[in-house]
Structure 1
Amino acid sequence: MNIEKHLWGIDLGGTKIEGIVLGADSGDILIRKRIPTEADQGYQHIIGQIKKLINQLKDETGFKPEAIGFSTPGTLDPGTQTMKNCNTTCMNGQPMKKDLKEALGVPVELANDANCFALAEANMGIVPEKYPDAQVVFGVIMGTGVGGAVVVNGKVIGGKHGIGGEWGHNVLEEDGEECYCGKRGCNENVFSGKSLEKYYEKISGEKRKLKEVVERYRANSDPHATATMQRLFKSFGKAIHYIINVLDPDVVVLGGGVSNIDEVYTEGVKELENYIFNHRKVETVFLKPKLGDSAGVFGAAELVR
């Protein structure tokens, strides 16, 4: 009798930790469970919360993991084997892969949340549904922050420094807003949701949520909203052209709140024509994701396939 292998994935977020157990062949979800991260109680507490969740998954399924994949809010540096660039700052500088392996007693694989998003959509989400022959997929996160990831033939390209696919902290405006990373005018500081709201406030003198700015743009009732959306489309087209010129991906999948703005797929892609090294002809396919906020945990499970 064949017993199907199970894939175990954990999505480690700033406020919640989500775990999933999948059938490796069927893709069926055996269990899915969330508990709070409680990151304010420190790094060791987070490790304890992860162990607690894994034990709950084992107890409720009757299965034990052979390996576990983790989607993390930062990157494991391949050289130092410690975490970096984590917005859950207590994780930075910590040997998380080593600590998780010791705490859980099984092999673990780590990738940042953008990588897991791209991996999930490339292997289990919208890409195999719409373009099953795609070989190169670029995943974009445009929400509170901006990020990116590269998947080639179903595998994440992590890179020498563990920053493969990094898109949010490429400089777009040299005299732009100062970024927490130490540079100015990063993509994240130009067209993330927060940055667009900040720009609208700067030119209009009024605070509005991005959703309202989009509504006012569509109603053609607010020139400041129009200017803000034009900033989004132009900066997106310019920023993504570097990716298209270098990687020439078959598909780009957009995730995060800003990616829900339909005009990004029309006006934003039209701006790309001004920069692409292909006689203004854009054949790259831009898709909305299928898995939504589930992508992180599915991508984590894919790491140990």
Structure 2
Amino acid sequence: MYKHDQRTVMTLDAGGTNFVFSAICGNQDIVTPICYPAVSDNLEECLTVLHRGFSQVKEQLEDEPVAISFAFPGPADYKNGIIGDLPNFPAFRGGVALGPFLKEKFGIPVFINNDGNLFAYGEALAGILPSVNEELEAAGNPKRYRNLLGITLGTGFGAGVVIDNCLLTGDNGCGGDVWIMRNKKYTDLIAEESVSIRAVRRVYGELSGETIENLMPKDIYDIAEGTRTGNREAALKSFDELGEMAGAAIVSALHIVDGMVVIGGGVSGAAKYILPGMMREMRRSISTFSGRDFDCLQMEVCNLMEADDHKRFLENTSTWVQVPFTKREILYNHTKRIGVAISTLGASKAIALGAYAFALQQIDRKYKG
């Protein structure tokens, strides 16, 4: 979807340190990105940087852009483009109408969302979903996937949900939020306390007894790899526990979403140490008072990063059943499966493509409605 669209949308990668401005047409970057330091503590200077960055992108374009679309940290009233009290952007305290400000400056629609939502949307329209469906078609399997849970592992625990090509935002802009789900291990805490950069560092410190002040997840990953001195067992456990805790939240979400799972974000680089704990949690059993056991998910969970699981996921197990009292047959798909994969687009690219697609979808919906 939108791969061959000729409309142009200006985008922004809004990090805590830098703002990177660009533009997309037909799912491709079409300008040289422009980077400015993010001014987090002075509203006037921050807005000046945003205006300057988008203005310089626009100067590079041959055609007029139809919209501006990007991810920005919350809390926010994304529908109305108002950014709330951001911990890392004190300049936005009290609520700032960022979307209306940019619309006033450039005279085009402005769409702002959170990175989890746009990551999921990019993966659904240009990443894992079309890729998986192409593989299923090549394998002669009639099954197709239309729903997706996108998970980002990094500073926080982010997520987004796409249902039948539509991004689930919710009536209050909270659709797909998993960070605030109940923590499996510490039931009075939020899930993000065990699924984040700070969680990896904390668990490593608890298990190793080492000072973690200067350690980041990449350092702990290197310890797990054996390329850096440290407590390897503690390093492995810190990623495994993150996977288990994330898996518990993902299980809860999948009871509603029932679709593919794709994982991205900086910490996903340690996927080979995270996925075992995640898969173990997603495949565990639960019981009734009578002692009857059930798999915690109705669907068989396949780790698409493992060859045997990937092969089994693509297998066509459908059979033909006869319509009673007729000679007609109907295809019966009696196997319920979902796949878990690591993003091949990367979070930044998926978010940009999600921002592009979301803007065009909203514009199309407005003119069709």
Question: TM class, shorter-chain normalised?
Answer: 0.7 to 0.9
SS in 1 for 2:351: helix
Decide which of 253, 273, 276 is 1:243's aligned counterpart: 253
Rounded Cα–Cα distance in structure 2 between residues aligned with 1:14 and 1:221: 31
Q: Deviations over 1:137-173 (max 9, x none)?
A: 1110111211111112222111111111111122215
Decide which of 226, 229, 235 is 2:239's aligned counterpart: 229
Structure 1 alignment gaps of length 5 or more: 177-183
1:196 aligns with 2:200: yes
Paired position in structure 1 for 2:84: 84
| Residues 79 and 112, structure 2, Cα contact 8 Å, conserved in 1 | no
Q: Deviations over 1:85-143 (max 9, x none)?
A: 63434334212222221122211111111111111111122321223542111110111
| Residues 18 and 32, structure 1, Cα contact 8 Å, conserved in 2 | no
Rounded Cα–Cα distance in structure 2 between residues aligned with 1:36 and 1:79: 26
| Residues 150 and 165, structure 1, Cα contact 8 Å, conserved in 2 | yes
Paired position in structure 1 for 2:133: 131
The one-letter code sitting in structure 2 at the alignment partner of 1:49 is V
Residue 73 of structure 1 and its aligned partner are, at CA, apart by 1.4
Paired position in structure 2 for 1:34: 34
* Residue correspondence of structure 1 range 41-56 to structure 2 within 5 A: 41-56=41-56
Rounded Cα–Cα distance in structure 1 between residues aligned with 2:45 and 2:165: 34
| Residues 10 and 301, structure 1, Cα contact 8 Å, conserved in 2 | no
Q: When the two structures are superposed, what TM-score results if normalisation uses the length of structure 2?
A: 0.71
SS in 2 for 1:235: helix
* Residue correspondence of structure 1 range 156-305 to structure 2 within 5 A: 156-173=167-184, 175=186, 185-206=189-210, 207=212, 208-217=215-224, 222-249=232-259, 251-260=260-269, 261-274=271-284, 277-278=296-297, 281-282=300-301, 283-292=337-346, 293-305=348-360
Report the aligned-residue RMSD.
2.7
Rounded Cα–Cα distance in structure 2 between residues aligned with 1:30 and 1:258: 29
Rounded Cα–Cα distance in structure 2 between residues aligned with 1:41 and 1:267: 39
Rounded Cα–Cα distance in structure 1 between residues aligned with 2:174 and 2:45: 27
Rounded Cα–Cα distance in structure 2 between residues aligned with 1:280 and 1:156: 22
Residue 225 of structure 1 and its aligned partner are, at CA, apart by 3.0
Paired position in structure 2 for 1:180: none
| Residues 34 and 57, structure 2, Cα contact 8 Å, conserved in 1 | no
| Residues 7 and 65, structure 2, Cα contact 8 Å, conserved in 1 | no
Of residues 68-77 and 269-278 in structure 1, the stretch that sits farther from structure 2 once superposed is 269-278
SS in 2 for 1:18: strand
Residue 190 of structure 1 and its aligned partner are, at CA, apart by 0.7
| Residues 68 and 107, structure 1, Cα contact 8 Å, conserved in 2 | yes
Q: Percent identity?
A: 24
Larger gyration radius, structure 1 or structure 2: 2
SS in 2 for 1:70: strand
Instruction: Decide whether aligned partners of structure 1 residues 55 and 211 sit closer, same or farther in structure 2, where only a CA change above 3 A counts.
Output: closer
Q: Deviations over 1:15-59 (max 9, x none)?
A: 2222332223xx333114132243234223222212111211121
Rounded Cα–Cα distance in structure 2 between residues aligned with 1:175 and 1:262: 25
Instruction: Decide whether aligned partners of structure 1 residues 44 and 290 sit closer, same or farther in structure 2, where only a CA change above 3 A counts.
Output: farther
Rounded Cα–Cα distance in structure 2 between residues aligned with 1:174 and 1:94: 37
Rounded Cα–Cα distance in structure 2 between residues aligned with 1:226 and 1:174: 18
| Residues 81 and 111, structure 2, Cα contact 8 Å, conserved in 1 | no
Instruction: Decide whether aligned partners of structure 1 residues 90 and 65 sit closer, same or farther in structure 2, where only a CA change above 3 A counts.
Output: same
